[in-house]
Amino acid sequence: MSRVAVGEVDGIKDLRRNAVRRVVVKYGAITLTNLQNQLAYVWDAVGRSIFIVLILYIFVQLWSSVYASRGGGEIAGLSLTMTIWYFLFAEMIELGKFRHDQQISDEVKNGTIAYALTRPYHYLIYHFFNGLGETLVKMVLILLLGLPIVWWSVGFPSIAWTTLPAVVLVLLLALVLDFVMASSIGLLAFVTEDTFSFRLIYQKLIFILGGLLIPIDFLPEWLQWIARILPFSQVTYAPAKLFVAFSASQFWQVLATQIFWIVVLGCSLRRQYRWSIRRLEVNGG
């Protein structure tokens, strides 16, 4: 890790630059460490990811027959191939993403969160980057395991490779959004003894309104409209749909919606976090 000698460049600007790099290195290191952690017992992760194979098989059977009963073609603009690939992508996010609500909830209850305060990092930011490493590994695994089935049953979808960077960006923002929501739920552990019911509700909301049950495009108009506005669809549906059926206008719309919700819910999370820490400082949690 090379470092520009302070004396060579303008004092404050260089210090600021170094500080930024140090912070990036700091949190990047956390991501890497958890990534290594995952790889340390990779067979365990593989075992857990085998689940996707089962799910996909069921989906393929189900939707194949649905499409067949309608004589093939498209439903709401999605072909069978696109629908299956949509599910693969959506499930990759849903099953691969780190369960921040669970983790934070546990740490509040067993007091680990208090000790994290003595370390020179921000608790939430630490957790986001920590989860990122794990999420990355899990998603790759799911993709690798699910690819064979999907390819064997419906082949490849028509994807323009140039759209992938945009899709990755939306995917990243989706993870940030999920983090913000899940953390808020996890922090509820300061208020209620058990956050299990809240976590369950959150999971179901993502499931239904996030297009994991069926693609939102297949829902009645009014429900589609509601789902698209709410943040839940931005976590799984939006990235997956963009992957299989990219359009520039869709992309900008999704981006705007994601950023909107991240900012709004992010502010709320910040307030909640501050309140929670205050509570910890006074009451010992």
Partner 1 sequence: MHERDSVEAAVVVSGLEKRFQLKQKAAGLVGSVRSLWQPVTKEVEAVRDISFRLDVGEVLAFIGPNGAGKSTTIKMLTGILHPSGGQATVLGLTPWRDRRQLAFQIGSVFGQKPQLWYHLPPEDTFRLFSRIYELDADVYKRRYDFLVESFQLAHLLQTPVRKLSLGQRMKCEIAASLLHSPKVIFLDEPTIGLDVVAKQQIREAIRLFNEEEQTTIFLTSHDAGDIEILCKRVIIINHGRIIFDDRTSMLKRQYLTRKVIDVRFGEALDEPFRLAGVETVKQGEYGLKLEFDSQAVAVGDVVQRVMATKPCNDINIADPPLEEVIRAIYAE
> Minimum distance between the CB of residue 12 and partner 1, rounded to whole angstroms?
18
Angle, CA 169 vertex, CA 165 and CA 174 arms, to 5°: 145
Q: Which is nearer to partner 1, 27 or 261 (CB)?
A: 27
> Minimum distance between the CB of residue 156 and partner 1, rounded to whole angstroms?
36
How far, in Å, CA of 138 to CA of 236, rounded?
A: 15
Cβ partners under 8 Å of residue 261, min gap 6:
177, 180, 231, 234
> Minimum distance between the CB of residue 151 and partner 1, rounded to whole angstroms?
33
Burial tier of 229 (Cβ tally within 10 Å: 0-12, 13-18, 19+): middle
How far, in Å, CA of 285 to CA of 275, rounded?
A: 12
> Minimum distance between the CB of residue 79 and partner 1, rounded to whole angstroms?
43
Q: Which is nearer to partner 1, 28 or 208 (CB)?
A: 28
For binding to partner 1 (CB under 8 A), which residues are involved?
Answer: 1, 3, 22, 25-26, 28-30, 33, 36-37, 40-41, 112, 114-115, 117-121, 280-284
Question: Per the structure block, which two tokens stand in for 133?
Answer: 């490493």
Angle, CA 128 vertex, CA 176 and CA 284 arms, to 5°: 125
Q: Which is nearer to partner 1, 187 or 262 (CB)?
A: 187
Question: Which H helix or E strand runs over 79?
Answer: strand 78-79
> Minimum distance between the CB of residue 216 and partner 1, rounded to whole angstroms?
39
Q: Which is nearer to partner 1, 26 or 109 (CB)?
A: 26
